[in-house]
């Protein structure tokens, strides 16, 4: 993590992204939604979306840190990385669907 190599930027950008989305999850659920009188569904949707993004960043960090040890481990971690990307995309898709149909309740 602390040596400069071809994975350094990938590791640190994904690790910083993980901490950013963790901080945003706390800030949204504690400071943003309560003053707006948000209901439980709003909290759940925001939490699920940000959790999917956290999973994406964390699994990608693990892939870039430990993926260069051997070919078998690289393939396994690549599957986790792709799963994390899928989780991030799905969570953003779900919050988009929730927001799009919010006015139809």
Q: Kindly list the domain boundaries of the chain, sorted by start residue.
A: 8-104
pLDDT for 14-44, tens place per residue?
999 999 999 999 999 999 988 888 899 999 9
Q: How many CB atoms lie within 10 A of CB 34?
A: 11
The binding site for Zn(2+) consists of: 64
Q: How confident is the model at residue 103 (pLDDT cuts 50, 70, 90)?
A: confident
Query: In this structure, what is the dihedral angle of CA atoms 19, 24, 30, 31, given to the nearest 10 degrees?
Result: 130
The binding site consists of: 64
Q: What is the pTM of this model?
A: 0.88
The arithmetic mean of pLDDT across residues 54-65, rounded, is: 95
Question: Residue 6: its pLDDT value, please?
Answer: 75
Q: What end-to-end distance do the CA atoms of the chain give, in Å?
A: 48
Q: How confident is the model at residue 7 (pLDDT cuts 50, 70, 90)?
A: confident
């Amino acid at each position: 993590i602390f040596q400069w190599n071809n994975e350094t930027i990938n590791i640190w950008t994904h690790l910083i992204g993980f901490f950013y989305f963790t901080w945003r999850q706390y800030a949204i659920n504690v400071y943003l939604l309560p003053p707006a009188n948000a209901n439980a569904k709003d909290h759940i949707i925001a939490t699920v979306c940000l959790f999917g993004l956290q999973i994406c960043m964390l699994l990608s960090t693990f892939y870039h840190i430990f993926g260069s040890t051997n070919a078998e481990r690289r393939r396994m971690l690549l599957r986790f990385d792709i799963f994390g990307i899928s989780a991030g995309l799905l969570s953003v898709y779900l919050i988009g669907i929730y927001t799009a149909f919010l006015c139809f309740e």
